[in-house]
């Protein structure tokens, strides 16, 4: 016997997404240039690093954890990237004697360093049994303090062009042995590099969550940690891997955010962890653990970024934009808890 489509349940489960779609339609009708390709391109570019951060946070949420240090880790990664990739002829260079470092090598160094912070988070949660909320809140403060010390609270800029091109470049600009293979393909040549990074991360997480033992362990821990442990899952090792991978994603996102902004400071990444948690929750990653899809994360990030762009086009004061974002976070978590209680 087929189940009838429950309209009320559908509207309740997707209330935020439906409201944002209606807001986008209203904005498109009442303002100019909202549905233009330029605005869509800006939306994609803004989404890319935030999707990468949300993918990192998702593993923590699926295992009934969280990571409140995400935003500050993004900021620290952006500052590390700045130190390594300032132009050699920039007068205010942080390390004047540092040789010219290729950006891929700098990116590798940044994600390795950030992975160490993730390992610390994972070990504190797995071995010391400190609740993820407290452990990552402490790490948030530590990372912010370290960022303030190493930057001396000074904003950094003066990046070399190859680093800036990572954020501003498109596939049509890509050269291999002096040849531009994508320049003759109109559909591909305008795809920004940032979208390529986000796409690769999305595919990696989809494979990790759906096709690997790590993914199965992660969902098992989120569903019932004690049962997973009895079934032979190495809970501690899995949690450590999850938090290391999360910090690696923050490192990559911070690297891209720095290139996109053209500068970095201790304020970089502020509040990004809340946006990521909200995006994950909107996209169906349950804060009660055991549930979450990469496709849902993408939808959640799209919804959250669309909200911000709509309010910007409507001329809403930035202060009220923060209020709207906060309300969305509360409503998203409340709806998630409602679904969880309904299943019990």
| Average pLDDT, integer, range 152-173 | 90
Residue 113 has pLDDT above 70, yes or no: yes
> CB of 214 within 8 A of CB of 238?
yes
Query: Using 50, 70 and 90 to split pLDDT, how confident is the model at 106?
Result: very high
With the CA atoms of 238, 243, 246 and 247 taken in that order, what torsion angle do they form, in degrees rounded to the nearest 10? Answer: -140
| Average pLDDT, integer, range 244-266 | 96
Phi-psi label, residue 101: left if phi above 0, alpha if psi -120 to 50, beta otherwise: beta
Q: What pLDDT is stored for residue 343 in this prediction?
A: 61
Residue 190 has pLDDT above 60, yes or no: yes
| Average pLDDT, integer, range 37-41 | 88
Q: Which ranges constitute the DSSP H helices of the chain? A: 7-13, 15-30, 37-62, 70-85, 103-126, 132-151, 161-168, 186-189, 193-211, 213-223, 225-230, 235-261, 272-282, 294-313, 318-343
3-state secondary structure of 196: helix
Q: What pLDDT is stored for residue 146 in this prediction?
A: 96
- The percent of residues above 70 in pLDDT, for the chain, comes to 95
Query: CA 272, CA 268: separation in Å to the nearest integer?
Result: 9
Residue 3 has pLDDT above 70, yes or no: no
Lowest mean pLDDT segment, chosen from 98-102, 152-156, 178-182, 189-193: 178-182
Could you count the other beta carbons within 10 Å of the beta carbon of residue 8? Answer: 7
Query: CA 193, CA 45: separation in Å to the nearest integer?
Result: 9
Could you count the other beta carbons within 10 Å of the beta carbon of residue 286? Answer: 19
> CB of 158 within 8 A of CB of 96?
no
Among candidate residues 246, 243, 210, 213, the one with its CA nearest the CA of residue 231:
213
Query: Cα–Cα distances in Å, from 238 out to 198, 206, 217, 313?
Result: 24, 17, 7, 43
pTM (2 decimals)?
0.93
Residue 66 has pLDDT above 50, yes or no: yes
Query: Using 50, 70 and 90 to split pLDDT, how confident is the model at 135?
Result: very high
Query: CA 45, CA 194: separation in Å to the nearest integer?
Result: 6
Query: Using 50, 70 and 90 to split pLDDT, how confident is the model at 213?
Result: very high
Residue 181 has pLDDT above 90, yes or no: no
Q: What pLDDT is stored for residue 287 in this prediction?
A: 82
| Average pLDDT, integer, range 20-30 | 93
Residue 289 has pLDDT above 90, yes or no: no
Query: CA 1, CA 26: separation in Å to the nearest integer?
Result: 40
| Average pLDDT, integer, range 242-256 | 98
Q: What pLDDT is stored for residue 142 in this prediction?
A: 97
Q: What pLDDT is stored for residue 162 in this prediction?
A: 92
Residue 236 has pLDDT above 90, yes or no: yes
Spatial neighbors of 336 by CB under 8 A, at least 6 apart, are 281, 286, 287, 288
Instruction: Select the more confidently predicted residue: 330 or 260.
Output: 260
Mean pLDDT of all residues belonging to the chain: 91
CA contacts within 13 A on the Cβ side of 188: 11
Residue 259 has pLDDT above 50, yes or no: yes
Residue 1 has pLDDT above 50, yes or no: no
């Amino acid at each position: 016997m087929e189940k009838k489509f429950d309209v009320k349940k559908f509207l309740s489960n997707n209330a935020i997404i439906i409201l944002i779609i209606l807001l986008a339609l209203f904005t498109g009708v009442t303002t100019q240039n909202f549905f233009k390709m330029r605005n869509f391109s800006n939306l994609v570019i803004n989404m890319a690093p935030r999707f990468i951060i949300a993918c990192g946070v998702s593993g923590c949420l699926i295992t009934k954890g969280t990571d409140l240090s995400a935003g500050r880790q993004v900021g620290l990664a952006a500052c590390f990237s700045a130190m390594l990739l300032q132009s050699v002829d920039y007068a205010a260079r942080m390390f004047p004697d540092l040789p010219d470092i290729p950006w891929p090598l700098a990116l590798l160094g940044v994600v390795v360093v950030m992975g160490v912070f993730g390992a610390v988070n994972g070990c504190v949660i797995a071995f010391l049994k400190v609740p993820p909320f407290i452990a990552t809140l402490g790490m948030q403060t530590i990372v912010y303090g370290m960022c303030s010390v190493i930057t001396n609270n000074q904003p950094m800029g003066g990046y070399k062009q190859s680093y800036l091109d990572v954020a501003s470049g498109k596939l049509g600009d890509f050269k291999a042995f002096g040849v531009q293979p994508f320049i003759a393909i109109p559909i591909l040549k305008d795809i920004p590099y940032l979208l390529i990074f986000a796409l690769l991360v999305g595919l990696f997480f989809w494979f990790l969550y759906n096709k690997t033992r790590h993914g199965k362990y992660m969902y098992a821990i989120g569903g019932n940690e004690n049962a997973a442990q009895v079934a032979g899952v190495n809970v501690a090792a899995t949690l450590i891997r999850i938090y290391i991978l999360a910090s690696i994603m923050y490192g990559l996102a911070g690297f891209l955010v720095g290139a996109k902004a053209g500068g970095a400071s201790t304020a970089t990444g502020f509040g990004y962890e809340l946006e990521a948690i909200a995006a994950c929750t909107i996209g169906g990653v349950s804060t009660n653990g055991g549930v979450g899809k990469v496709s849902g994360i993408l939808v959640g990030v799209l919804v959250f970024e669309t909200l911000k762009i709509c309010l910007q086009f409507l001329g809403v004061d930035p202060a009220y934009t923060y209020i709207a974002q906060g309300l969305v976070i509360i409503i998203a978590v409340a709806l998630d808890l409602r679904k969880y209680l309904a299943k019990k």
